[in-house]
């Protein structure tokens, strides 16, 4: 048995070395002879973090006070209160080696990285589903513009959703969707108002069934795209449990979130 295992490992290495003559193995960080080095792999093996408070476009006004108020022994200063439109979970901040991984997967032709990113995001999907008491959520990728898909050669978020489906994290729900505007060159107000249009029978059927969905994207910055997706999906009749992303442009300080079930600070 050990001999067969050793032979199998040798054959795999020979195949990998042969393929490397055509497409050299290289980690996004620059390390040679490996698709993903241990240091970069560790960035995908972390507990997902809540980041929605850092997404300006996701904030919804919940209360306003023209003067200081006292409620339940707590003094509330004059001002406004906001809450996030939906929970968003990310693996880390969009910078350093994590940024290199995302860019290599998204724009650098390293499509194989999607198979490593999917299992890293699966716990985030499971967490949103558990919080909502949903057993088998549907996974909806954020749509890319046609020009971006042609430039990259694939719809990378759709492929990520398919990989999550294959891993048992949920059911891929690939809808006909398109953003009405690009984000490049837009001001903060225009980005906040970004709209996404759903079309096709699959979207109508999912809406009529009231499917519970998780939005999947690569990076969140202001949250305008996630807001547009939330509005499109809920407008069609679906229930949005939240969103999972690989990275966030900003990360909230430690201790901002508390897990009510365990009492642990997140």
End-to-end CA distance of the chain: 45
Mean pLDDT score of the chain, rounded to an integer? 83
CATH code of the domain occupying 47-56+86-248: 3.40.50
- Domain positions in the chain are 47-56+86-248
pLDDT digits (tens, 9 = 90+) for 132-173: 999 999 999 998 766 555 455 578 899 999 999 999 999 999
Token pair listed for 158: 């759709």
**8-54 per-position pLDDT tens digit:** 656 555 554 444 444 578 999 999 989 899 999 999 999 999 999 99
Crossing angle for the helix pair 156-166 and 114-131, to the nearest 10 degrees:
70
Contact 240, 230 (CB under 8 A): yes
Tell me which residue of 33, 82, 34, 31 sits closest to 61, measured CA to CA.
Answer: 82
Tell whether the torsion through CA atoms of 39, 45, 50 and 55 is positive or negative. Answer: positive
Residue with tokens 């966030």: 248
Rounded (5°) CA angle 244-164-218: 40
How far is it, in rounded angstroms, from Cα 92 to Cα 66? 37
Whose tokens are 């939005």? That residue is 215
């Amino acid at each position: 048995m050990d001999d067969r295992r050793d032979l199998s490992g040798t054959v795999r290495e020979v195949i990998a070395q042969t393929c490397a003559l055509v497409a050299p193995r290289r980690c996004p960080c620059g390390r040679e002879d490996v698709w993903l080095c241990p240091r970069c792999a560790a960035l995908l093996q972390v507990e997902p973090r809540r980041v929605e408070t850092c997404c300006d476009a996701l904030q919804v006004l919940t209360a306003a006070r023209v003067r200081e108020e006292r409620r339940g022994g707590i003094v509330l200063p004059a001002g406004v209160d906001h809450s996030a439109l939906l929970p968003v979970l990310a693996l880390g901040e969009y910078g350093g080696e994590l940024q290199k991984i995302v860019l290599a997967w998204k724009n650098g032709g390293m499509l194989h990285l999607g198979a490593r990113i999917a299992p890293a995001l699966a716990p985030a999907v499971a967490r949103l589903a558990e919080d909502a008491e949903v057993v088998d959520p549907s996974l909806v990728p954020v749509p890319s513009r046609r020009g971006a898909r042609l430039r990259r050669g694939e719809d990378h978020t759709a492929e990520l959703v398919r990989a999550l489906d294959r891993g048992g994290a949920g059911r891929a729900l690939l809808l006909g969707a398109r953003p009405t505007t690009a984000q490049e060159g837009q001001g903060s107000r225009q980005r906040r108002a970004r709209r996404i249009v759903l079309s096709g029978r699959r979207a109508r059927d999912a809406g009529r069934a009231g499917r519970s969905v998780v939005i999947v994207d690569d990076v969140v910055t202001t949250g305008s795209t996630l807001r547009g997706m939330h509005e499109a999906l809920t407008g069609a009749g679906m229930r949005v449990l939240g969103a999972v992303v690989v990275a966030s442009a900003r990360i909230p300080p430690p201790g901002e979130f508390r897990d009510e079930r365990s009492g642990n600070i997140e």
